[in-house]
DNA sequence: AAGAGACCCTGGATGC
DNA sequence: TGCATCCAGGGTCTCT
């Protein structure tokens, strides 16, 4: 499940290879992945186009084309983007192949077929309204507090809301809540100022750690060369239910928040907030 | 407006 | 061994 650190790793891997390359052909094995325009317009609009840039916004990848348009991709749950040679053996679950000059290929693989592709004139046509980039200076505790104001939903659900902060998903939300000592079911608008500040710092910490470890590969995530990341070895609570909390030894628990699994330490992340003035865990 | 729930998908795990 | 069922979950959409 690629989240910000995984998408960032992929972009970092592919950017030096793709920049300056020309897309010579597009082969669609699963045309339904094309969200816009129609399939023919998508292929014709890409064929012959030189790639002039590549960037990440939230969990989206945008390739800037010579024409001024953008090829936008979202990997959703199981998508991967692989830098390959045309002569390399085929990759399982390849849904789209972007053939490139020089005998190279950019392969989009996706087991569950949730990933989507767009070819747009303007990034806003593909990207929904997204909250601040968490690794930008703009993502401050004040900004997070503002986004959580009036939100009665569980804090875990709000952290995964891309309008609150862009790029955080299930894994890093669980990890950030643990580091901040905040229970995932706490009402978002019930967090104290100091807790919101801790949460902001924890989000930055876990995302930066994820990037340093080149992403979390619990199952399908692969980087731009098809290799696993190592952050799954560094997570503190995600998918560790039943194992001892790394801080206090209490068994990690799993619950469901907003139809998604949530992992937490019932001791370090109490359901009720600590009294004002008590030291943070 | 916010939040809850359905939906899209399929490999792998589990159950009988 | 073989078949059926369940589960994971990001984001979008609909409904309340």
Q: Write out pLDDT tens, residues A196-215.
A: 999 999 999 999 999 998 87
Span of A63-67, A140-144, A228-232, A255-259 with lowest mean pLDDT: A228-232
CA A272 → CA A66, A141, A152, A171, A233, distances in Å? 54, 21, 15, 23, 30
Q: What is the pLDDT of residue A225?
A: 87
pLDDT of A261: 87
Average pLDDT score over residue span A151-176: 91
Tell me if A164 sits within 8 A of A156, measured CB to CB.
no
User: What is the C-alpha to C-alpha distance for residues A67 and A53, in angstroms, rounded to an integer?
Assistant: 12
Q: Give pLDDT, residue A16.
A: 96
- Catalytic: which of A6, A21, A56, A59? A59
Q: What is the pLDDT of residue A17?
A: 96
Residue A57 tokens, joined: 């916004």
What gap in Å lies between CA A143 and CA A146, rounded to an integer? 5
Q: Which residue has the tokens 């077929």?
A: A113
Whether residue A2 lies in the annotated active site: yes
Q: Which residues touch strand C (CB under 7 A)?
A: A 1, 3, 58-59, 74, 76-78, 112, 114, 128, 160, 162, 169-171, 259-261
> What's the token pair of residue A153?
């939903």
Identify which of A16-20, A36-40, A90-94, A250-254 has the greatest average pLDDT: A16-20
pLDDT tens readout for residues A228-237? 887 778 788 8
Q: Going by C-beta distance under 8 Å and a sequence separation of 6 or more, which residues neighbour residue A75?
A: A2, A6, A7, A10, A59, A61, A81, A110, A115
Query: Rounded to an integer, what distance in angstroms lies between the CA atom of residue A269 and that of residue A243?
Result: 15
Q: Is the pLDDT of residue A123 over 90?
A: no
Closest CA to A92 of A82, A101, A100, A102: A82
**pLDDT above 90: residue A62:** yes
Confidence of residue A274 (pLDDT cuts 50, 70, 90): low
- E-strand ranges in A10-110 read 23-28, 34-36, 51-57, 60-65, 70-74, 79-85, 94-100, 104-110
């Amino acid at each position: 499940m690629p989240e910000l650190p995984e998408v960032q790793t992929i972009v970092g891997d592919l950017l030096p290879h793709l920049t300056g390359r020309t897309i010579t052909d597009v082969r669609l094995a699963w045309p339904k992945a094309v969200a816009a325009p129609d399939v023919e317009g998508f292929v014709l609009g890409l064929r012959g186009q030189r790639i002039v840039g590549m960037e990440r916004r939230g969990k989206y990848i945008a390739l800037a084309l010579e024409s001024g348009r953008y090829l936008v991709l979202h990997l959703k749950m199981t998508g991967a983007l692989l830098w390959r040679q045309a002569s390399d053996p085929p990759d399982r679950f390849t849904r789209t192949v972007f053939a490139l000059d020089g005998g190279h290929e950019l392969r989009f693989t996706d087991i569950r077929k949730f990933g989507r592709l767009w070819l747009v004139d303007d990034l806003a046509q593909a990207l929904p309204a997204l909250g601040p980039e968490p690794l930008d200076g703009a993502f401050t505790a004040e900004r997070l507090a503002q986004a959580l104001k009036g939100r009665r939903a569980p804090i875990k659900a709000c952290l995964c809301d891309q309008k609150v902060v862009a790029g955080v998903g299930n894994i890093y939300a669980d990890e950030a809540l643990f580091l901040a000592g905040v229970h995932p079911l706490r009402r978002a608008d019930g967090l104290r100022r100091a807790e919101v500040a801790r949460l902001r710092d924890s989000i930055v910490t876990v995302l930066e750690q994820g990037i340093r470890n080149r992403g979390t590969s619990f199952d399908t995530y692969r980087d731009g060369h098809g290799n696993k990341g190592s952050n799954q070895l560094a997570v503190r609570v995600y998918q560790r239910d039943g194992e001892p909390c790394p801080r206090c030894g209490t068994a990690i628990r799993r619950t469901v928040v907003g139809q998604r699994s949530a992992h937490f330490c019932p001791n370090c992340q109490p359901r009720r907030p600590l009294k004002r003035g008590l030291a943070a865990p």
